[in-house]
Amino acid sequence: MRILIVDDEPMVARATSRLLHRDHHVDVAHSPEDAFEAVRRQSYEVVISDVDLPGMLGPEVCQEILRLQQPAPHFVFYTGRVTWRPPSDLAKLGVVVLFKPCSKEELLEAIRCT
């Protein structure tokens, strides 16, 4: 499975990538712009994105990726804001929300559920 991780915190992105790279092909983008460039070059089955990114929120990144890539990837958002919920239009797409810190098992289950 091809997975794109979008997170502006290099340590978080690297740790998430390490959890997944053994069984999946994982790319990392540290900004929304890097994510869009990655999607222009390669299709992904899953995008794991932080909610709070510089200059753009995760749901906005999701909307742009949905515009750029068909078939649409599945989305997993992770956030430290425990009250955050995805906008209704994204919730209808079945996005998964994880709260930081999440365990390896939670992350793997979220990917399996996509």
| E runs forming strands in 30-110 | 46-50, 52-53, 56-57, 74-79, 96-99
**Number of domains composing the chain:** 1
Instruction: Specify the pLDDT at position 114.
Output: 65
Instruction: Specify the pLDDT at position 64.
Output: 96
Q: For residues 47 and 27, give the distance between their C-alpha atoms in angstroms, rounded to a whole number.
A: 10
- For 113, counting Cβ atoms within 10 Å of its Cβ (0-12 exposed, 13-18 middle, 19+ buried), the class is exposed
If you search the block for the tokens 């599945």, which residue do you land on?
Answer: 74
CATH of residue 30: 3.40.50.2300
Give phi and psi for 76, each to the nearest 5. -125, 120
Q: For residues 50 and 61, give the distance between their C-alpha atoms in angstroms, rounded to a whole number.
A: 10
Q: Which domain holds residue 91?
A: 2-113
Ordered mean pLDDT values, 10 residues apiece, the chain (114 residues): 96 94 95 97 96 91 94 90 68 79 90 79
Instruction: Specify the pLDDT at position 4.
Output: 98
Do residues 64 and 90 lie in contact, with contact meaning Cβ atoms separated by under 8 Å? no
Pull the structure tokens for residue 33. 């712009």
Instruction: Specify the pLDDT at position 89.
Output: 64
Q: Side-chain half-sphere of 34: how many Cα atoms within 13 Å? A: 13
